[in-house]
Amino acid sequence: MGSGTWQEVAQTIASEFSDLPDAAQVTRILLRLTLAALLGGLLGIEREQKGKAAGVRTHMLVAMGAALFVLLSQQSGMEDDAVSRVIQGIIAGIGFLGAGTILKGDNEDKVRGLTTAAGIWLTAAIGVAAGMGRESTAVLSTLLALAVFALMPRLVRLLEKPKALVVDETAGQDKP
C-alpha cells in the first residue's frame, strides 16, 4: 500500500472520531455519563448492602446505558417525538430487566424482588434525566430514592409494632 492509501485510512479514522467537535461537547458527555454512573452506583451500594441481587455494577450500567441512549438521540439531532420513543424503549426494556429480578414463591404472599425491580426502573429514569442534562433532577431523584430505601423499612416496622403488642386474651389461662 502506498502513502496515499495510508493517508486515506488515517483520514477515515479521524472522520469516524469527529462526533465530538469541541471540548465543551466532550465535557458535557463526560459529565452526564459520569453523573449517571455515580448516581446509579449510590443506589446500587444501598441495594448491595442489603444483600439484594442487583448491586453497584448493575445500577451503574443501567443508569449509564439509559443516559447514553438519550445522549446519542440528542447528538444525532432527533426531534422531540423521536427522543420520546427512545425513552419509551428504555422504559419497556428496563421493565423486562426488572421482571427478571422478581421471584414468586409458593403462595401469593411470597413475592420477592419487587423493590429491586422498581429500583432498577428508577435508576434508568435517573440515567435518562442525567443524559438529558437534567442533572439537578437526577440528583434530587437519587436522594429521594435513598430516603425511601432508608426510611420506609423503619416506618413499616413502627406501624407493625402496635400489632405485636396486642395481647392474646387466652394467654396464661389453663387449658383443659
Collapse the DSSP code of 112 into the 3-class scheme (helix H, G, I; strand E, B; otherwise coil) and give the result.
Answer: strand
pTM of the predicted model as reported, rounded to 2 decimal places: 0.80
pLDDT at 166 over 80: no
Helix H segments across 76-110?
Answer: 80-99
> In the Cβ-directed half-sphere of 59, how many Cα atoms lie within 13 Å?
27
Higher pLDDT, 128 or 163: 128
Q: What pLDDT, on a 0 to 100 scale, did the predictor assign at position 85?
A: 95
pLDDT tens digits for 49-94?
Answer: 988 878 899 999 999 999 999 999 998 899 999 999 999 999 999 9
Q: What pLDDT, on a 0 to 100 scale, did the predictor assign at position 148?
A: 94
Q: What pLDDT, on a 0 to 100 scale, did the predictor assign at position 120?
A: 94
